[in-house]
Chain A
Amino acid sequence: LAKTTQPISMDSYEGQEVNITCSHNNIATNDYITWYQQFPSQGPRFIIQGYKTKVTNEVASLFIPADRKSSTLSLPRVSLSDTAVYYCLVGSNAGNMLTFGGGTRLMVKP
């Protein structure tokens, strides 16, 4: 599974747009990019998944450049409840062994 690199932490304020970038230089052709959100003492929650270009759902957008060596999770107009750890994962259909990195701890301030 491709290794990912994300910032350890980020701070933002309510109402701002937050962009978290993940680097995955060794991404394979069959790999997809998936982002999870985790609150303390809870299981990770799926946010969004993509393969290339841009994917948008009701919660976030995922931007993937043509070379796919990085991806950016965009959270529009964050609120205090978006304070959480965000994980970027890269993997293929080869199995269910999700490899979590350290994640990005997002702190949203009032």
Chain B
Amino acid sequence: KAGVTQTPRYLIKTRGQQVTLSCSPISGHRSVSWYQQTPGQGLQFLFEYFSETQRNKGNFPGRFSGRQFSNSRSEMNVSTLELGDSALYLCASSLILAGSTDTQYFGPGTRLTVL
């Protein structure tokens, strides 16, 4: 079974631009979560989608948004990029519910650099 895939793997943008990252979950997985990882803040939860609905949201500004399609693929968008948005963005998928008995499987991440 193919793992979680994320595209692109690397991205360079300039301040003020916007960016869209894509995540394809493991086949059959219905939940997709997004995380941001930086050296200073570590791994932080952004949001989670299940059946095309956002169920949970972390403490990030409204510039960070996402969506999920009917095939469970998900995209996240960051508008008006700031230097501090440079990070590794990770997507994780799980069957239904994660956090305990339902394991989250992570993709390789998208490395975003904002200049």
A residues lining the B interface (CB < 8 Å) = 1, 30-32, 34, 41-46, 49, 87, 91-103
Stretch of B14-22, B60-68, B77-85, B103-111 at the chain-chain interface: B103-111
B4 / chain A contacts, CB cutoff of 8 Å: 43
Indicate if the CB atoms of B99 and A93 lie closer than 8 Å. yes
A41-B109, A43-B108, A43-B109 given as contacts; is B103 within 8 A of A98 (CB)? no
CA distance A60 to B55 in the complex (A): 32
Chain B: how many interface residues by the 8 Å CB criterion? 32
Does any Cβ of A come within 8 Å of B70's Cβ? no
**C-alpha gap A45/B108 in the complex (Å):** 10
Closest to B33 in A: A96
Q: Mark B11-52, 1 if CB is under 8 A from A, else 0.
A: 000000000000000000001010100000011110010100
- Contact residues in B for A31 (Cβ distance below 8 Å): 100
**Hey, which chain A residues are within 8 Å of B106, CB to CB?**
43-45
A interface SS class: loop
Docked-complex contact A49 and B109, CB < 8 angstroms: no
CA–CA, A99 to B46, complex, Å? Answer: 11
**Which secondary structure dominates chain B's binding surface?**
strand
Q: Please tell me if B58 contacts chain A, counting CB pairs below 8 Å.
A: yes
- Taking CB atoms, residues of chain B closer than 8 Å to A102 are 42
CB neighbours (8 Å) of A94 from chain B are: 99
Compute how far the CA of A53 lies from the CA of B42 in the bound complex, rounded to whole angstroms: 30
Contact A32 to B100, CB < 8 A, known contacts A43-B4, A96-B56:
yes
When the two chains form the complex, which single residue of B33, B50, B109 contacts A98, counting CB atoms closer than 8 Å? B33
B107 touches A43 (CB 8 A): yes
A108 to chain B, nearest CB (A): 22
Which residue of the partner chain, among B92, B99, B103, contacts A43 with CB atoms under 8 Å? Answer: B92
Q: Is the CB of A93 within 8 A of B97?
A: yes
CB distance from A110 to the nearest CB of B (A): 27
Q: Which residues of B contact A96 (CB under 8 A)?
A: 31, 33, 48, 50, 55-56, 92, 94, 97-99, 104
